[in-house]
Structure 1
């Protein structure tokens, strides 16, 4: 988590899954475990829930409160790729609740990349009400954006749906590439054949390749960093 005085923003960034076996853990947990109740409403994927709660209690909440106190007028930007997108969605409502009493004209926004489905319709309603400025950016046939499958999982009967608003790039995402803006009731990326879904589109966003192995070098930290003006 960082503050960017030159941007007048507090920026919260979540990393994606690392290494590859973590993706398998996510899928296995989703298949065999019930969704968990989210404190502000609805139910969410248990794997994502436990991961976020661990971060929140380990220092994420306290560090945000410190930055919030130091920069009470700063906007808040939350972002992440893959698993980090799911963490962003879970963090959004809690952060919004913290800043609500002194929001003034501050903006809180969420931008995710290759985000999986996180929760049910009730959770999505809470998320969208507290953070209206939320965007799911999807690259072409990104397979992670298609899991868990929409609706109920066969063994746990848990329900997973995407929240709004989807920004779909059905191309290579190079500079000035066109995109479609889709509501949650008309998800663009669900129009392609599921046989086309692939991991390569998940690992390339805006022509930048994301290496899962490199994420192992990211060390979790409970400390925040201040970006100062030159």
Structure 2
């Protein structure tokens, strides 16, 4: 698919169509809410009719100051159920771990390919810690609903794995899954990227020079899955963006490989993602 310069779409989102409006006004608040221990405050502030179902929070093995966390939700007005995953609250720590030893070892991802051992352990702990069971209960209660999966930073990697897992295991069909991530690091190897592309139609939103979109580096045998949505601007209302269909595409953020920014990672659509979530998404 060719890279296309698109204007923001105002129509309702479909699994195969990126919507700036959905990313900005619904998926980002969901991602920010995951940083809070009371995500319902964000949901009530920004999505109004969305309701928290269950939040699971566990200590992460590597990030001693952080927790791996995710929550499920339902929205009977929008006819949506879904999951959102928390990122690490300390971006500098995440980068240090990535450039040290954290991503030296990969493990088999149960649904295909290999992922970072840390990502795999974090996802499986949260999923098996109660999030997976609650999500499947929501699917049983609302079998016709669309499924939204999202997360920022580390949470984007976990959201990527969650969407692939529910598709691979036929918990929900691919056509119902809508995956949007923000500042997602590379999550797995080439096979994982290929498997993921077969299982999920996804959009990795990247803000300009976001450093985390470039780590772990490709020489460590990591590969992004499609599709990247790149905003080479401040992401203010009405900003243009590029949708790139290749897994690694020099027409999107890869062109900034040697010019990166931590600030662009922490800020999306004018919001400091974790802080906005902690404050209840006012």
- Aligned positions of 1:23-38 closer than 5 A: 23=94, 24-31=96-103, 33-38=104-109
Cα drift, residue 80 of structure 1: 0.4
Change (3 A) 1:211 1:91: closer
CA contact 2:223–2:248 (8 Å) conserved in 1: no
Aligned equivalent of 1:206: 269
Deviation at 1:151, TM superposition (A): 3.0
Alpha-carbon deviation of 1:29?
A: 3.9
How many residues align? The count is 206
Match of 1:177 among 239, 242, 262: 239
TM-score (norm 1): 0.82
Query: Quick one: which of 49, 64, 73 aligns to 2:120?
Result: 49
Q: Which residue of structure 2 aligns with residue 143 of structure 1?
A: 211
Question: How far is 1:209 from its partner?
Answer: 1.4
Aligned partners of 2:248 and 2:254 also within 8 Å = no
Aligned Cα root-mean-square deviation (Å): 2.3
Partner of 2:256: 192
Structure 1 residue runs of 5 or longer lacking an equivalent are: 153-158, 219-230
Look up the match of 1:121. 190
Matches within 5 A, 1:1-230: 1-20=72-91, 22-23=93-94, 24-31=96-103, 33-99=104-170, 103=173, 107-131=176-200, 133-152=201-220, 159-183=221-245, 184-187=247-250, 188-194=252-258, 196-211=259-274
Question: Post-superposition, which runs of at least 4 consecutive aligned residues in structure 1 deviate over 3 A?
Answer: 19-22, 24-29, 97-100, 211-215
TM-score (norm 2): 0.67
Q: Which moved more, 1:14-23 or 1:90-99?
A: 14-23
Q: Secondary structure at the match of 2:256?
A: coil
